[in-house]
Amino acid sequence: MTEERIQKLLARAGYGSRRAVERWLEEGLITVNGKQAKLGDKATSEDQIYLRDELLHLKSVEHFRPRTIIYHKPAGEVVTRSDPEGRRTVFDKLPTMKTSRWIPVGRLDINTMGLLLLTNDGELANRLMHPSSEIDREYAVRVLGKVSEENLQALRKGVELEDGIARFDDIKDAGGEGANHWYHVVLHEGRNREVRRLWESQGLKVSRLSRVRFGPIQLDRWLKPGRWRALKPHEFKAIYESVNLPVPDMPEKSTDKKKKFKWKK
């Protein structure tokens, strides 16, 4: 059995992204065969690995099949496995898996809806979220207030936020009048509430926000909020190629108990 770095092994098994596992190692939350593990240590799927005193089941990693889905997140749901305030989470409606678990690719805040990618491939999640990959995110935004050309120029050029300079790579007027005026904006970062904060820097308020694209993956108009679908073969290939990862075999037909949604041509 070949040894590999713990963060790669756990990411491949779907327990988290490499960055998350590295953080757990730094915090002393992982033990291997009864010994606290540290960053740089290696292990195999045959080792006894515990995370926060929970034994991780890694033997199935040898037969791991990567899966990635699109979920149409509605407003009012949070992107966390459990919420101390008892709010609905995106995981409540996802298909269950026996040998791995879903990793959300980035976050959408509770009031933001739209496309959320989830995968059980920790390496893919890590690459997609890493700033160096510069994956485009496109949002549909409904803005309250009169938007001037000066506002748009500033948002394209860049404005100073509390965590540094930010800007939109592209802004397109999507039509509408008065309080129902829409824009489509594109950026390649995933900073917290970045879209909202950029518009607020111009004295404007976002009244509705929906992510409609993440890299090569578009949100289908027919996919209703609260529903999910698997990636189509060409999307599965495109998402791996977008971060220079080898394209694995497509997963076999799902046997999840929850309702499936057919691909629409």
- For the domain made up of 4-62, give the CATH fold: 3.10.290
Identify the pLDDT of residue 259: 44
Closest to 66 (Cα-Cα) out of 1, 117, 21, 2 = 117
Would you give the DSSP letter of residue 70? E
Distance CA 102, CA 90 (A): 11
Domain positions in the chain are: 4-62, 68-131+217-241, 136-214
Q: How far is CA 232 from CA 141, 142, 179, in A?
A: 27, 30, 37
CATH superfamily to which 136-214 belongs? Pseudouridine synthase (3.30.2350.10)
Do the domains at 68-131+217-241 and 136-214 have one common CATH topology? yes
Give yes or no for residue 30 having a pLDDT over 60.
yes
d(CA 215, CA 236): 12
Q: What is the pLDDT of residues 230-264, one digit of tens each?
A: 999 999 999 999 999 988 877 665 444 444 444 43
Q: Which of the residue ranges 57-61, 217-221, 255-259 would you say has the lowest mean pLDDT?
A: 255-259
Q: Please provide residue 50's backbone torsions phi and psi, each rounded to the nearest 5 degrees.
A: -115, 140
Backbone angles phi, psi at 192, to 5 degrees: -60, 125
What are the catalytic residues?
109
Tell me how far apart the alpha carbons of residues 114 and 226 are, in angstroms, rounded to a whole number: 10
**Rounded to the nearest 10 degrees, what angle do helices 233-241 and 122-129 cross at?**
60
The CATH architecture annotation of domain 68-131+217-241 reads 2-Layer Sandwich (3.30)
Q: Which band of pLDDT confidence, cut at 50, 70 and 90, is reported for residue 123?
A: confident
